[in-house]
Amino acid sequence: MSTLEVNKIIPQGSGTALQIGENGDTITLPAGTVITLPNGSITNDELAGSIANGKLANSSITINGSAVALGGSVTIGETKPTIGSISPSVIENTASNVVITGTNFVSVPTVDAISTTGAITPANSVTYTSATSITANFTLGTDGTYYLRVENSDGNAVRSGSALLTVSDVPAWTTSAGSLGTIAGGFSGTVATVAATGDTIVYSETTNVLTNAGQANCTLNSSTGVITTSDFGGSATSATTYSFTLRATDAQGQTSDRNFTLTSSYSIANSGRFDT
């Protein structure tokens, strides 16, 4: 049996060349020829240099979308999105838009609201504005605080480090709008009490009528909603209807306004209180 000593296997165009001996003689095989070598017949040392570096000079592989020449190097990293801030930070239970500002957003990411209980609610929709701004529309039926999670289409994602979003109902007035009564001019004492439900309600006047010394001349207790006076109507001497707007503000900064009136009356005795 004859033995053919092959020193190198050399790619050559569409075929393959076998180098025989040390003098460089070759045998060219047609394209598609399969060469099967027994395990261990050629060692790594024997293969070294069988493909010249020159033949690799124009070869490359692609990693994460970047072409890297063989023999070269590349730093492989992940570009994750970040969340900086949101606006508004407090929304109601109805469908609401939340603008998320950050970096490295890719059109169009998915956005989830994650309750502190662990419940996950996907955004109704997400609008991509730029790599630093997206708008997510949420309908969150349960009051509470929520983390936000943004995931780009390439799988890179970020969750906010704190529960940035608060869902809360606006204050609800329990005192009906309109007249709070008719009060005798010059009356001193409690005039009326207004009330609203919510988280730590603070009452204030948005107009300048009720607490104006030159008009109704009353005081509004910001914590209890009690309206008092030491001289209702002040210097007025004829019946007057005072129209004003009160605001209820909760701990989350949400507000609800309501319009009310108080009317002064003047009898012969010009004293006493007459509520309607």
The pair of structure tokens assigned to 243 is 């129209």
Of these ranges, 46-55, 71-80, 112-121, the one predicted with the greatest mean pLDDT is: 112-121
- Residue 258: C-alpha distances to residues 181, 203, 204 (Å): 16, 11, 11
Residue that the structure tokens 């005039």 belong to? 191
Residue 209: is its pLDDT beyond 80?
yes
Model confidence at 272, pLDDT cuts 50, 70, 90, reads very low
Q: What percent of the chain has pLDDT over 90?
A: 66
CATH top class, domain 82-167: mainly beta
Model confidence at 78, pLDDT cuts 50, 70, 90, reads confident
The pLDDT of 226-240, averaged and rounded, is 96
Residue 4: is its pLDDT beyond 60?
no
Domains of the chain by residue range: 6-69, 82-167, 172-265
Residue 34: predicted pLDDT: 60
- Comparing CA positions, the residue from 99, 263, 222, 94 lying closest to residue 169 is 94
Residue 207: is its pLDDT beyond 50?
yes
The Cα 8–Cα 18 span in angstroms is: 6
**Average pLDDT over all residues of the chain:** 84
Residue 267: predicted pLDDT: 80
Model confidence at 193, pLDDT cuts 50, 70, 90, reads very high
Model confidence at 242, pLDDT cuts 50, 70, 90, reads very high
CA dihedral 22, 23, 25, 31 (to 10 degrees): 40
Backbone angles phi, psi at 270, to 5 degrees: 55, 45
- Residue 4: C-alpha distances to residues 1, 7, 18, 30, 72 (Å): 10, 10, 10, 18, 37
Residue 106: is its pLDDT beyond 90?
yes
Q: Please tell me if the domain spanning 82-167 has the same topology as the one spanning 172-265.
A: yes
The Cα 245–Cα 173 span in angstroms is: 12
Q: What is the pTM of this model?
A: 0.59
Residue 200: predicted pLDDT: 93
CATH homologous superfamily, domain 172-265: Cadherins (2.60.40.60)
Kindly give, in sequence order, each residue whose CB lies less than 8 Å from that of residue 222, ignoring residues fewer than 6 positions away: 202, 203, 204
Residue 271: predicted pLDDT: 45
Residue 90: predicted pLDDT: 94
The pLDDT of 57-78, averaged and rounded, is 63
Residue 40: is its pLDDT beyond 80?
no
The pLDDT of 73-89, averaged and rounded, is 84
Model confidence at 65, pLDDT cuts 50, 70, 90, reads low
The pLDDT of 164-175, averaged and rounded, is 95
Residue 232: is its pLDDT beyond 70?
yes
Residue 273: predicted pLDDT: 46
Q: CB–CB of 260/194 below 8 Å? A: yes
